[in-house]
Structure 1
C-alpha cells in the first residue's frame, strides 16, 4: 500500500469537541490510516493511501463537517501565522469592548432595584415595565450581533450532529433571549407586566456573550504567546546583508543571497546565513542556537550560522547554506513539527471531548426538566438551571491541557539548545531510568590531546615538545596531530627534520637541527626504545608509565642520542562538564552506563574520571544496538547519547535517542532529541524539561476535569437539594471562560523553566 501524508491548516475549530470530531470522521474514512488534529496549532496531520482516497476528498470531508482545510505548504511560516493571529486578536478586541459596554448597561438596568439604585420612572420595572423590557431588548440586539459567531458556528454544528462549545453558548443564550422576548410580548399584551418585567434574562444573555468572548480573547492571546520561542528565533534573522562584489559592496535582501556569495559581517551585526569564515576573527554569540551565553571565538575556516551575533570583529564569510537549509530554519521547522504533535497522555481527553458536548446538553435538559416536573420549581428557575449547566461546561480546557504545554515546552527547549522532535518523545523522556553514553566524542572531546610532558636528564618540557613535534611533522598518525596542535597552542616553532623513518606500530626515527645543535631522535612506545637499546629505561619509568596508562593515557617516549630524554602522555580528554552531568543524573534517580569500543582498561579509566560505575567495553559498532536491547529487556527505559555514524542504530533502537548537535547528520536524524551545543548538561536538561512539561500537563488535565466534574453538578442544582445556593448563569459563564484561560496560563509558566529545575 502506497502511503502519503499531508499537513492541513484547519479553520473554524472552537473547542476540543471540534478537533475530536474531525479526528473521528476523517480517521474512519476508507484509505485514511492516521488523522491527528491539534487544537492549539489548528493543524491536522493526515496519513492516507492515495489509491483508496485523494487529499481533495479528505478536504471535502472536513468541509462537510463545517470546517475548512487548506494543505499547508513549505511557504507557510511562523511569521505569517503570527500576523494572522494578531489580526484575529484585533478583531476579537474590537467586538469585545462594545459588547461589554452594552452588557454592563443592560445589567445595570436589570439589577438596579436589587441593589437599591433608583431608576427613572421612564425605565423603572414597576412604573414602566414595557419600556424597561424594550430598552434591554434593544441594547441586547447589537450584543447578539457582535457575538453572532456563537450562533453561526454553534447552531449548524448542532444540526450536523456534532455540537461544540459554541453550541452550548448558542443554546443557553438563545433560550434566555427567547424566554425573555416572550415575556416582553406578554408585557406588551398586558399579562401581569410588573411580574414579567422582573422575570427577564436579557442581562444574562448579554453578560454570557460578553464574558465568554472575553475568555476566548484571553485564551487566544495566551495561545499566541505559546509560539513566542519561534517568533524570537525568527526575529534573529536579519532582513539585509552586505554582499561583496568585484566592484565593491552592496546591500541585498537575505532572500537574494546565494550559495558561494561572499558577505561582510560588521561588529554588532547578525550573521544572515550559514557559511565559513574566509577572513577575520571575532567572538560570536551563539546562544540562540546552543543556549550557552558565552561567545565563541571564530577564525578563518570556522563555520558560522545564520541568526548568531558577531560581537567585536569584522568577518568575511562565504555562504554555504541559505533559505530553508540554514540551521536556524531547520530548528524552526523542527520545533514547529514538534509543537504540532500530540502526546499519548492527550488520548483520554480527546476521547472524552468527542462525547462531552452532547452529554452536557442531555444533562442540562434533564436537570431543567427534573426541577420543573419533579422539584416543583417554576419555569424561570428551571430555565436558569438549564442555562447554567450549558454555560459552565468547558470542553476547551480539556482540549488545550496537553497541546499548549507541549508547544511551550518544546519552544523553551529550543531556547535552551534542546530540540525535542515530538510530543510523544517529550512524554517518554520523563520515564527514562537509564542513560547510555557513547565514550568518544560524547563523554570525551573526541580528539586526542597532550595531557602530560615529563622531561629527564636536563631537558625541559618545551624542548621536548619541539623535538616530538618535529619528529611527527611528517607523520599521518592521529597522535601526531595532537602533538603538533599542542606545539602550536604553546607557540613553539616546529623544526624541519633532516631525516625521517617510521616503524609502523612502534615509532619514528628522525634527526634535526635546532638552535645550532643536532638531535638524533627516537620517538615511540617503550618496546621501540628497548629494541634500540635506549639508556635510562629503569623501574621508575616503568611505574610512571603504569600510572599514566591506568588513567587511560597513551604514553610515548622520546630519546635523544640513545638516551631517554622524556615522555609525553596523550589521551582523549573527558569533557569538562561530564563529571557534573553524571552526578546530576544520579540525583535524578537515573542509572548511567558507558558504552565504548575501547579496551577495558582505557574504558574503566575514563569511567572512573566521569564517576560512572557501569561500563561495557570492547563493543563493536554493530553490537551497540544489542546492548541497548539487553538493557530494555531488563526493564529499563533507555536513553542513548551519541554523536557518530556508528551510534545511529543504537540511537534509533533506544526508547529516547539523544544526539549531540556537534555530531554528523545521520546521528542527528536518527535521534529523538538533539543537543545543539554538544554540551552534556543538555541530557539532564532535556529529561528535566520533559518532567516539568508532563507535570504541567497533569496539572492542566486535573483542573480541567475537576472543573467540569464539580461545576456541572453545582450548576444542575445539586447543592440546592440540600438547602444550598444555585449557580447564576453569569457566574457559570465567567467560570467557563476563565477555565480555558487558566489552563493556557499554567502552560505558559514553562516559558520560565530553568535547567536546574528537574521536575518533580
Structure 2
C-alpha cells in the first residue's frame, strides 16, 4: 500500500527532494509506519512511500532535519535504509543486522528462507520452544515454565524494540505493540508456554509474509532483468562489447540471431523476425526491417540486425513500464482509500473493546481476572488489521503486474476500479478500429487540373505531417513520381484540414464540407465526393483560393480483430460506439461492416460531449493518444493504443501496447478479476476476524489460535492476490 502525506507544512525555498531505498516493507502497515516516523520530523514534507519499489521520497529542509536523522527514524522501525542514488541496487545494502529487525534484509534477497534474518528468528524461537518443552518433560514443570519465559523474552525482544520505535514516532497501534502487550501480559498471568508459542507463530507469519511479498516484487524485477547488461556496439566497422546502460542515442548496435536486443531503437540494416512478447505480450514474432522500431528485451530470432539507439537505458519501454507499474501504487483505488480510513479507527476500537473485555466481567459480574485478561489479550491479537490493510494493495499490485506482462498498462488502483465499472467503450476510428495505415484509392481532377498538380500541391501542404492521411498522400505522390512542391507556414485547422503556402500561394487540403464553405467545391465535386464516401472512403479536397484542384480518396481497412473485439465486449455486457471526425457516409460503411453504433462528423469538443453523456455509467475511451487527448481525459478511463509510444505511456490512464482491439475486452476482464479478488480478500480478512473475535470472547479460542488466525489471514489474502499473476485476461469465461 502506498501512502502520500497530506502535509501542507511550509518548507524552506532551499528544501530538496530526497529519495531512499527502504527494504523490508512487506506487511500491510509497513508504509504507514515509515510515513508516520518521518513526517513528524521538522522540515519534512511531501512524504511518499512506495512499498513495491521499496522507495521513500520526501522534501527535506536540511537546516531543520538532516538526512541522517531521517535514516535513523526509519532504521529505528526495523527497516533497512540507504540513499537511493548512492545505492540504486537494494541488494547492495547488507549492514543492518545491528538493528535487530526481522523484516527482510536486502541482503536476504535470493536466499532460502532459513538463511534470511526472519528465518533465523524463526529457527531461534522454535529451538528455544523445543528446548523448553524438553526441559519440562525431562525435569519439572517449574523449570519448564522458566524456560518458556526465557524463550518468550528472547523472541519478543526485537518485536518490542520495533513497537517502541513506532510508539516514539506517534504510532501506538501497531501489530508489534499488540504482540508485545499480549506476550508480556500472558507471562504476567502465568501463560508462559502460550506466550512463547505466540512469539514463535508470529515469527513464522512474518517469514510467510516476506516470501509472499518477494514473489509479488519478483514479477516486476523479472521485467527489468529482460534487458541484457551488455551490447555489441558497432564502431568503425568493428564490434565491441559495452555496458547496455551506457548506450547513447544514435549509436549503432548489433543484435545477432538469438540475442536479446539491448536498447529501444530503429532497424537500419537487416530483416528478421523479432519476438516482442517480453514487452507487449504478443506471442507471434513480428518481422522487423529497416525503418521499423524494436524494443529492448525483445529477442532477435532469425538474422542479424543493425539497430540505431533511440532511447537511453533509463527511458526504454521496459524501464518505463516498470516505473509506471511500481509508481501506480500512488493512484489508489477508492476501495483502498476507504480501507485505509477504516483501519485508522478500527485499531483503537479493538483496543477499547479488549479493555472492556478485561474490565467489565470482573468488575460488573465478579469474573475471574486471569480468565478475562487472557481473553482480552487474545482479542488484541485477533483484532490486528494487517490482513485487511494488505488485502486491496496486494490484489492491485498483482493485477498491475499481470497486465504489464501482457501489454496492458493501467496506472494504478483507481484506473482498475474505473475500468471494472465501465458500461460503455468508445472507440476512435483511425488507428484504433482501423489499422491507421490508409492508402490512396482515387485521385479525381477538378476544373481542368491534372493528377500531378493535385498530388504536388497536396504533398506540399502535408509535408512533415505525421497524420496517417498526410502520410498516405505523401507516399502516393512519391510512388507516382510526383515531387512535393515547396511549401512553408503549414497550419492545422482543427477538425477540418491543413493550409500552407505552396509555391508562393495559399493552398488547402481539407474536408469536403470545409471546402464547400470556402467556395472551392461545386455541385459536381460534391456529388463525386459523396459517391466516394458512400464506398467507405475518406475524401479530402485539394484547392487553391476559390478553385478546387481535385479530390483524393483514401481507405483505411478495419483491424482484423475488430469484429471479435466487439463481440467480446457484448458478451461482457459492455456497449461499444465509434466516435469519429470522419464524414457520416464513411463512418456508416465501416460501422456497418463491424456491427457497431457510431457518431460521425465530430469535432474534438463533440467527442468530449459524447463521452460526458455516457460518463454516468462509466465509459472507457480508446484512441491513439494524440488526436483524442481531450476525449481520453474526459472518459472514466482513457486508453491509448500504441506500441510503447511516449503518448501511449504517459497521456492516458491506460495503454494497450499490442495494438489489438481485443485487448479492450481483456483489460476489462482483468480489471473485473482484480476487483473480484479484492472482494474475496476483504471477505477473508473480515470474516476470519468476526469468527475469531466471537470465539475469543467466549473463551473457545486462545492466544496461539488468535495469532495463527491473524497471520493466516494475512498470508491467505496475499496468496489469493498472487493468483492474479496467473490470470489470463484473453481467456473468455
Which TM class, normalised by the smaller chain length?
0.7 to 0.9
Residue aligning to 2:192: 202
Distance 1:229 1:95, change over 3 A: same
* Residue 86 (str. 1) matches residue 109 (str. 2): yes
Structure 2: state its 5+ residue gaps.
1-7, 94-104, 443-450, 463-467, 486-526, 541-551
Larger Rg computed on CA atoms: 1
SS class of match (1:593): strand
Instruction: Give runs of aligned pairs for residues 158-197 of structure 1, distance below 5 A.
Output: 158=167, 162-180=172-190
The question of whether the paired residues in 2 share the 8 Å contact of 1:14 and 1:166 is answered with no
Distance 1:35 1:156, change over 3 A: closer
Distance 1:84 1:435, change over 3 A: farther
For 1:277 and 1:480, how far apart are their aligned partners in 2?
23
SS class of match (1:413): helix
Residue aligning to 2:710: 736
Distance 1:28 1:581, change over 3 A: farther
The question of whether the paired residues in 2 share the 8 Å contact of 1:109 and 1:136 is answered with no
**Of 213, 219, 225, which aligns to 2:215?**
225
SS class of match (1:649): helix
The question of whether the paired residues in 2 share the 8 Å contact of 1:37 and 1:44 is answered with yes
For 2:405 and 2:222, how far apart are their aligned partners in 1?
9
Structure 1: state its 5+ residue gaps.
111-118, 124-128, 181-200, 453-467, 489-493, 501-542, 557-567, 721-725
Residue aligning to 2:128: 102
**Of 382, 386, 389, which aligns to 1:396?**
386
Moved more, 692-701 or 380-389: 380-389
* Residue 637 (str. 1) matches residue 627 (str. 2): no
Distance 1:349 1:663, change over 3 A: closer
For 1:216 and 1:39, how far apart are their aligned partners in 2?
16
For 2:299 and 2:697, how far apart are their aligned partners in 1?
59
- Give the C-alpha shift of residue 272 in structure 1: 0.5
Residue aligning to 1:618: 601
* Residue 447 (str. 1) matches residue 437 (str. 2): yes
Residue aligning to 1:650: 631
* Residue 274 (str. 1) matches residue 300 (str. 2): no
> Could you report, residue by residue, the CA deviation over 1:143-172 in whole angstroms, capped at 9, with x for unpaired residues?
532442211112444575623101111111
- Give the C-alpha shift of residue 486 in structure 1: 10
Aligned residues: 638
Distance 1:342 1:109, change over 3 A: farther
**Of 724, 748, 751, which aligns to 2:725?**
751
Residue aligning to 1:701: 682
> Could you report, residue by residue, the CA deviation over 1:412-450 in whole angstroms, capped at 9, with x for unpaired residues?
110010111122111211111221111111111112247
Distance 1:99 1:267, change over 3 A: same
The question of whether the paired residues in 2 share the 8 Å contact of 1:15 and 1:395 is answered with no
The question of whether the paired residues in 2 share the 8 Å contact of 1:16 and 1:350 is answered with no
Distance 1:29 1:173, change over 3 A: closer
Residue aligning to 1:572: 556
> Could you report, residue by residue, the CA deviation over 1:337-366 in whole angstroms, capped at 9, with x for unpaired residues?
113542221223222322344433333333
Moved more, 476-485 or 236-245: 476-485
Distance 1:329 1:732, change over 3 A: same
SS class of match (1:205): helix
SS class of match (1:646): coil
The question of whether the paired residues in 2 share the 8 Å contact of 1:14 and 1:165 is answered with no
For 2:587 and 2:91, how far apart are their aligned partners in 1?
49
- Give the C-alpha shift of residue 292 in structure 1: 0.9
The question of whether the paired residues in 2 share the 8 Å contact of 1:339 and 1:410 is answered with no
For 1:473 and 1:250, how far apart are their aligned partners in 2?
46
Distance 1:11 1:482, change over 3 A: closer
SS class of match (2:334): coil
- Give the C-alpha shift of residue 473 in structure 1: 11
* Residue 144 (str. 1) matches residue 153 (str. 2): yes
The question of whether the paired residues in 1 share the 8 Å contact of 2:42 and 2:65 is answered with no
The question of whether the paired residues in 2 share the 8 Å contact of 1:335 and 1:414 is answered with yes
Distance 1:163 1:328, change over 3 A: same
The question of whether the paired residues in 1 share the 8 Å contact of 2:41 and 2:65 is answered with no
The question of whether the paired residues in 2 share the 8 Å contact of 1:692 and 1:758 is answered with no
Residue aligning to 1:531: none
> Could you report, residue by residue, the CA deviation over 1:216-242 in whole angstroms, capped at 9, with x for unpaired residues?
110111011112321221121111222
